[in-house]
Amino acid sequence: MSVSVDLHAPLAVLGQDVQVPLASGEKVGYAALDYAASAPALQRVWDDVAAYAPYYGSVHRGAGYLSQLSTDLFEQSRRTVADFLDLRGGDQVVFTRATTDSLNLLAAAVPAGTRVFAFETEHHASLLPWAHAGLEVSYLRAPRSRAEAVAALEAALAAASEGPKLLCVTGASNVTGELWPVAELTATAHRHGARVVLDAAQLAPHHRVSVRELDVDWIAFSGHKLYAPFGAGVLAGRADWLDAAEPYLAGGGATRTVAREPDGSVAVQWNTGPARHEAGSPNVIGAYAIASACRALTEAGFDALEARERQLVERLTAGLAQIPEVRVLNLFGEAGDIRSSARVGVLSFVVRGWNSSHFSAALSAEYGIGVRDGLFCAHPLVRTLLGDEEVAPSECGAPEPSLPGERSLNAIRVSFGAGTPDEHIERFLTAVRELVTDGAAWNYRNEGGRCVADSRR
Ligand SMILES: Cc1ncc(COP(=O)(O)O)c(C=O)c1O
């Protein structure tokens, strides 16, 4: 079935006409296939920000008209995000810098003595803040099916001692793109009295997310992956732990009153509500941009976006399945069947006989395609997925092993979303086929850790 979408409104993205130079000197339209790192800005977001820019003023600070307007816009953006996420009454929306910041904020706010549960497959932003904040963490082994994930959590929670508990889980993997069984994991966690924070950095740009229906306690996502690259992110959810915690940052905006005491000290009454964790001048443009993206995605409807993306994912996986040298990395899919696992528009793979950095460099220099190579800030997961994969050496040199004595590993990730035309996927598949069959047309060299085209073969 072919799903047609209007690529112009409301989900048109910037950069569709950008031309980039190839190693040959020719220019081609850039095929942006690295949405999972940072998605292009929506035209709608850009236009909304540009329309607001002349009215820009300080938030929560000024008496002037533009300050009042900017404050209203900032608070209205909070309400738009709350609607977009389908929050419950009483839930809070805190504006942060991005998902990493949101999860570090939550890690700093959970009650002392909380035990955190996280699968080792998480992005480092979901894996690391907890121990860094001094909490006890149980790292669960990489499950090889969704049912196994639920069973592993069940067993871990059943064995856990009394006290506050928190599960941090991703909605969609930033490496494999696979969807995680969030509702089932949440039900399991709640049965054992554990709370749940959902890392929706890769889910929110692709799927409708209802906090109420999933029943998660908190959710985190980044504006720059949601087509709103203006330096803001979101942590939203239950108010109790946030209001009871020390403010994330100490400073203006987080305080109700600050007074000098007779003994020379300074007494502070901190705000409750989102302001408690938003010290400093708020990023009103970032918050407004996120709200604009939420409105555009809601207006376009996730049904159309998801249908379009499924079509591209099917074309991509069917095309890659015909290239025996390509191995797609799946955690949950049936062995050998790369099309069996439900995923968003994110997929990683390795190519037999190729170093992934070399391959990705050739995609860029010879075809104008931008993908990502490496371990994608999810080192334990990529190590598990690559298993005993031989990493081919290349003229670029294999990347340095991250642990002494360990083999070096890396993979290639392709990711897409709103505004991705068929042509980008077709060009990508043609490029992979040609590189595998004919080899690169250029010699590459390592320049300061980057693989760059050197001379024609
Ligand atoms: C699943 C996941 N979680 C968290 C993050 C961190 O997001 P940010 O870099 O925007 O803070 C990323 C970024 O790639 C991600 O993919």
Is the model's pTM score more than 0.85? yes
pLDDT at 94: 98
- Ligand 1 near 123 CB (within 6 A): yes
- Ligand 1 near 121 CB (within 6 A): no
pLDDT at 111 over 90: yes
pLDDT-derived band at 396 (thresholds 50, 70, 90) equals low
Atom 13 of ligand 1, nearest CA residue = 37
pLDDT at 10: 83
pLDDT at 227: 98
pLDDT-derived band at 446 (thresholds 50, 70, 90) equals confident
Strand pairing of 372-374 and 19-21?
unpaired
Count the alpha carbons within 13 Å of 454 in the hemisphere toward its beta carbon. Answer: 11
pLDDT at 3: 42
The ligand 1 atom nearest the CA atom of 222? 10
Separation of 66 CA from ligand 1 center, angstroms?
33
**Going by C-beta distance under 8 Å and a sequence separation of 6 or more, which residues neighbour residue 380?**
120, 121, 127, 142
pLDDT at 421 over 80: yes
pLDDT-derived band at 75 (thresholds 50, 70, 90) equals very high
pLDDT at 1 over 70: no
Separation of 79 CA from ligand 1 center, angstroms?
23
pLDDT-derived band at 392 (thresholds 50, 70, 90) equals low
- Quickly list H helices, 62-208: 65-85, 99-109, 124-127, 129-132, 146-159, 182-191
Distance from the Cα of residue 27 to its chain's centroid? 30
Of 388 and 73, the structure prediction assigns the larger pLDDT to 73
Separation of 330 CA from ligand 1 center, angstroms?
19
Distance from the Cα of residue 2 to its chain's centroid? 28
- Determine the residue of 101, 377, 381 to mutate for testing ligand 1's pocket, defined as the one with the most ligand atoms within 8 A of the Cβ atom: 377
pLDDT-derived band at 205 (thresholds 50, 70, 90) equals very high
- Ligand 1 near 104 CB (within 6 A): no
- Determine the residue of 38, 121, 130, 202 to mutate for testing ligand 1's pocket, defined as the one with the most ligand atoms within 8 A of the Cβ atom: 202
- Determine the residue of 35, 123, 179, 206 to mutate for testing ligand 1's pocket, defined as the one with the most ligand atoms within 8 A of the Cβ atom: 123
Separation of 2 CA from ligand 1 center, angstroms?
31
Q: List, for residues 37-46, the tens digit of each pLDDT value.
A: 999 999 999 9
Read off the tokens for 330: 């799946």
Q: List, for residues 271-296, the tens digit of each pLDDT value.
A: 999 999 999 999 999 999 999 999 99
Dihedral in degrees, nearest 10, Cα atoms 4, 85, 173, 310: -10
Q: List, for residues 292-346, the tens digit of each pLDDT value.
A: 999 999 999 999 999 999 999 999 999 999 999 999 999 997 544 555 568 999 9
The ligand 1 atom nearest the CA atom of 100? 11
Q: Catalogue the active-site residues.
A: 377
pLDDT at 199: 98
- Ligand 1 near 125 CB (within 6 A): yes
Separation of 415 CA from ligand 1 center, angstroms?
14
d(CA 457, CA 453): 10
Work out the percent of the chain whose per-residue pLDDT is above 90: 84
The ligand 1 atom nearest the CA atom of 99? 11
- Ligand 1 near 153 CB (within 6 A): no
